[in-house]
A and B are shown apart, each in its own frame.
Chain A
Amino acid sequence: DAGVTQSPTHLIKTRGQQVTLRCSPKSGHDTVSWYQQALGQGPQFIFQYYEEEERQRGNFPDRFSGHQFPNYSSELNVNALLLGDSALYLCASSPLMMSTGELFFGEGSRLTVL
């Protein structure tokens, strides 16, 4: 049973560019959440997708957007990259219904903005 998979694992961009990160949830999970983890910090909630719609959103600007596909996979897009966007981006999945709220995290995509 494959867990949460993310791609790419590492990438380097320059300021002003745009990036797309991808996530496939654990089998049987229909909800995908994205978190940003800066070096030495705890993860911060970006947003959550369920049934192809953004269900909840954290305190992140509109430069951060997402999408969920019918197969429950998801993308995170960040426009107009800033140096401060350098971080580990974690995708987490869970079943929405009958859920304990426990999240299953992927290995992350490490973004460096130069």
Chain B
Amino acid sequence: ELKVEQNPLFLSMQEGKNYTIYCNYSTTSDRLYWYRQDPGKSLESLFVLLSNGAVKQEGRLMASLDTKARLSTLHITAAVHDLSATYFCAVEWGSGGGADGLTFGKGTHLIIQP
């Protein structure tokens, strides 16, 4: 059974600081996704990582994937209040090559204080 663990689960940080969220998973997979969820809202796709060594950046967020270590990181640079949300990583299981089911982590609840 594929397990996905995120840490930390809760994070309170100040604006302007840097921090990293970690996502570990238990079985081999080459596809990892990061989503953002605002309170009471649906999930918004942030990054799609499809191979070992993949790195994607969008604004103050950067995601990377190390499939050998079964680890992905989401790095926040110079945090701003608007980035406050819950961040989920998700790993694809199944045969791959298409839209297979995803296993999500429990999420990291991020609060960025002015």
Contacts and interface: CB of A to CB of B under 8 A. Distances in A.
Say whether A associates with B: yes
Contacts of A102: 33, 45, 48
A99 B98 CA distance: 5
A101 B99 contact: yes
Interface of A: 31, 33, 35, 40-45, 48, 56, 58, 90, 92, 94-97, 99-108
Given A42-B88, A107-B42, A33 B101 contact: yes
Interface in B35-54: 35, 41-45, 48, 50
A93 to B, nearest CB: 9
B48 A100 contact: yes
26 contacts: A31-B98, A31-B99, A33-B99, A41-B106, A42-B88, A44-B104, A45-B101, A45-B103, A56-B94, A56-B100, A58-B101, A90-B42, A100-B50, A101-B33, A101-B48, A101-B96, A101-B99, A102-B48, A103-B33, A103-B99, A104-B45, A105-B43, A105-B44, A106-B42, A107-B42, A108-B42
**A interface secondary structure, majority:** loop
B72 to A, nearest CB: 14
Interface of B: 4, 31, 33, 35, 41-45, 48, 50, 88, 90, 92, 94, 96, 98-107
Nearest to A110: B40
A48 B102 CA distance: 10
A12 B79 CA distance: 39
Contacts of A106: 42
Contact of A43 (B31, B100, B104): B104
Nearest to A104: B45
A42 B99 contact: no
A54 to B, nearest CB: 12
B104 A101 contact: no
A106 B106 CA distance: 19
